[in-house]
Amino acid sequence: MRVLFLTPSVRPLGARRSLVELVRHLPPQITPLVVCPSEEGIYLELKDLGVDVAVAPQGAWRKFTGRLTALFRQIPRIQSQVRKFSPDVIHANEFHIVPQAFFSAGKKVPISGHVRLSITPRQFHNYHIPKVRRLIVVSSAVKGLLAGTGMEDRIRVVYNGVNVGKVGEPGDPIPEVSPWWGNGGNRPLVVGLFGLISARKNQLVAAEAVSLANKRGADVRLLLAGDAHKSSIPYGEELRARLAQDDLKDKAIWVPFQKEIAPLYRSIDLNLLISSEEGFGRTIIEAGAAGRPSIGTKIGGIPELIQPGETGWLVDEGNPDQIADLLVKVWSDGDMCRKMGEAAREMVGKTFTIEAHTRRMIEVWEECRDEGPVAG
C-alpha cells in the first residue's frame, strides 16, 4: 500500500515527531512519501532515514488570501506529487491540511485526516473535514468534541506511540543538570517541562510551583526545554525574567529544543504537562517510557494517559499551589518517583508503543483504501 503524507510544518514538535516515528516504523508492505513545505526540520531527518520526501508549499487555508494561494500555488504542486506517486491513501498529518489534500486528489484518492488538538465547529466545516474517509483522533476526549457531526462512524481513536527502548535507553543526563545529579544522597528533586514555550503549556505556572515548593522546605529544581514560536516571544521574555528572580535563579535551567529527547528524560525525576489545552500529551508517554511519572492537568486527553496515584497525578489547570504540594510530597518520599515511574513504564509498554500505533494506523488506511473516496 502506498501512502502519501502531507504535513503543513517541518518543526520537529509533537505532531511531526509522531509522524517521523510512524514512518520510521512502517513495515515493508507500506511505501511512504512525505510531502513537506520546505527542506528543513523533519524533511532532513526523514531524508537521513532513507524515506522518500518531496517539497510542496502547504498551509494558511483559513483566510481568503490563503485559499487563493493554496488553489493557485500549493495544490498544483501537491497534485504533481500525487500523479507521480499514485498513492492508495493520502494522510493529512494535521487537520489544517485536509483542504489541500482534498482539492489535490480527494475525489480519486481516499483521505485520512489527523486531529491532534481541539477543533471548533467552524474549523470542522472550513477545513472540509467531512471530505475525509477516516478521521483519526488522538484521544477519546478529542472524539467527544466531534459528537453530533454526523461523522461518528468514520472517527477512529488511535493513541500516539513511543519507541520505548530508545527513549528509555540508559545514559547520562544533559550536561546542564549534571551538577544537580552529583549531590549524592542530598540530590534535589528534578522536574521537567518539555515543549513549545507558550502560555498554553504554562511554563510560568511550573516556575511558580517550584518556587512555592522550595519555600515550603523542599529542594526542587526545574528543567525547561523548548523554544518560543514567534507568536509566543513575549511569553518567553516574561518567563526568562521570572526565572532570573532570586527565588529561582539557582533553581531552574532553560535549554533550547533538543533533537535527542532521551537525555532530557534521564535528567529528571518527574515530568510536568500542565497545559491549558492538550489533545493527547506526548511527553507523558515519553516520560513513562523512561521510567518517569508525570503530573498532568485534567485537560483534554491527559487524564487518559495517567493513572492517578499509580503512574502520576492529575491537578487543576493553572494551580501552582496544588502542584507545589505534590512536589513537596514526592521530595519527602525518596522511593515514590521510582515506584510510580516503573508503573508508568509498564503502562506505556502495554498501551502506547510505536508498534501498536503503527498497526492501528495501517488498519485505518486499509479501511480507507477498501472504501474509497468520500462521494461529492
Confidence check: pLDDT of 68 > 90? no
The predicted model scores a pTM of: 0.91
Q: What is the DSSP string of 124-135?
A: HHHTTGGG-SEE
Rounded CA-CA distance 305/266 in Å is 20
Half-sphere exposure of residue 323: CA atoms within 13 angstroms, side-chain side: 32
Looking at the structure, tell me whether residues 243 and 195 fall in a common domain: yes
**Do 97 and 228 reside in the same domain of the chain?**
no
Question: How sure is the predictor about 1, in pLDDT bands with cuts at 50, 70 and 90?
Answer: very high
Beta strands in 260-334 (DSSP E): 270-273, 294-297, 312-315
300 plus 216 within the same structural domain: yes
Q: Are residues 123 and 168 in the same domain?
A: no
Question: Taking residues 101-124, what's their average pLDDT?
Answer: 91
Q: Based on the domain organization, do 13 and 62 belong to the same domain?
A: yes
| 19 and 155 assigned to the same domain | yes
Lowest mean pLDDT among 66-70, 144-148, 196-200: 66-70
What pLDDT sits at residue 8? 93
If asked whether residues 138 and 153 sit together in one domain, one would say: yes
In a domain, 189, yes or no: yes
Asked which of 24-28, 172-176, 292-296, 306-310 is least confident by mean pLDDT, the reply is 172-176
Distances (CA, A) of 1 to 144, 171, 173, 355, 368: 31, 38, 41, 18, 11
Residues in Cβ contact with 64 at an 8 Å cutoff, skipping those fewer than 6 apart: none
Q: What digits encode the pLDDT tens for the residues 156-206?
A: 999 999 999 989 888 889 999 988 987 666 789 999 999 999 999 999 999
Residues 21-33 pLDDT 10s: 999 999 999 999 9
pLDDT category of residue 92 using cuts at 50, 70 and 90: very high
Which CATH number belongs to the domain containing residue 306 in this structure? Answer: 3.40.50.2000
For residue 221, being part of any structural domain is answered with yes
Length of the chain (residues): 376
Structural domain count of the chain = 2
Please report whether residue 266 resides in a domain.
yes
Looking at the fold, whether 133 and 172 belong to one and the same domain comes out as no
Residue 72 lies in a domain: yes
Query: Which residues form the domain of 9?
Result: 2-161+353-371
Residues 153 and 191 in one domain: no
pLDDT of 183: 63
Q: Are residues 303 and 327 in the same domain?
A: yes
pLDDT band at 118 (very low <50, low <70, confident <90, very high): confident
DSSP strands (E only) in the chain = 2-6, 31-36, 53-55, 89-92, 111-115, 134-137, 155-157, 189-194, 220-225, 252-255, 270-273, 294-297, 312-315
For the cut 90, the answer to whether the pLDDT of residue 289 exceeds it is yes
Same domain for 293 and 189, yes or no, is: yes
Give the count of beta carbons closer than 10 Å to the beta carbon of residue 24.
17
Is 376 inside any structural domain? no
Task: Evaluate the CA torsion angle 203, 204, 206, 207 in order and state its sign.
Answer: positive
Judge if 176 and 325 occupy the same domain: yes
